[in-house]
Amino acid sequence: MAVVVLFHHALGLTPGIVQFADELRSAGHIVHTPDLFEGRTFATLEEGVAYAEQIGFGEVLDRGVQAVEGLPVPLVYAGFSLGVLPAQMLAQTRAGARGALLFYSCMPVSEFGSAWPEGVPVQVHGMDADPIFAGEGDIDAARALVAATDGAELFLYPGDQHYFADSSLPSYDADAAALLRQRTLAFLAMR
């Protein structure tokens, strides 16, 4: 059993994120789903990113840090898209990380330190033709992470959707989401 902190994407804590967390819970894991947007959800990526810019990405990171205060260590940090920011930062900087699951995004390791922490496994998941993941450099950051880190894996799925594992959105891809979930559960079973 793993204890997971799962950070939502820029649309907020959608029913699809809650459902994903419930599926992990059904497999026996403890999953915390902090709401970085304080109850707000958005219909479009542009609206969600605009809100994140309004409150500031530093505030998003601070809310992620606050969300884990008082939680037991060790933790697995997971994030979808925007949620990768606090998940990756905490995995790299907070003692006791058991692993990281980075969905749809990956930052260069240098954003949060000089190297990925030794002994902290990580998976990165994204679609190979996603204009954000593949087109804005996240895939390159993921490849660099995998090349430089033992226990790092990159999983690419065919398609061009960004939020492909959120069942509450039109971008949902059932086949890719099922494979992502299977790989996630296998990862968590080892933690």
| pLDDT, tens only, 92-113 | 999 999 999 999 999 999 999 8
Which position has the token pair 């898209």? 81
CA dihedral 168, 170, 172, 174 (to 10 degrees): 100
| pLDDT score for 124 | 98
Average pLDDT, stretch 4-30? 98
**Per-residue pLDDT for 114 more than 90?**
no
**pLDDT above 70 as % of the chain:** 100
Residue 21 domain boundaries: 3-189
HEC profile of 25-75: HHCCCEEECCCCCCCCCCCCHHHHHHHHHHHCHHHHHHHHHHHHCCCCCCE
**Per-residue pLDDT for 36 more than 90?**
yes
Q: What value does the mean pLDDT of the chain take?
A: 97
CATH code, domain carrying 84: 3.40.50.1820
Tell me the pLDDT band of 73, cut-offs 50, 70 and 90: confident
Instruction: Please count the structural domains in the chain.
Output: 1
User: pTM of the prediction?
Assistant: 0.97
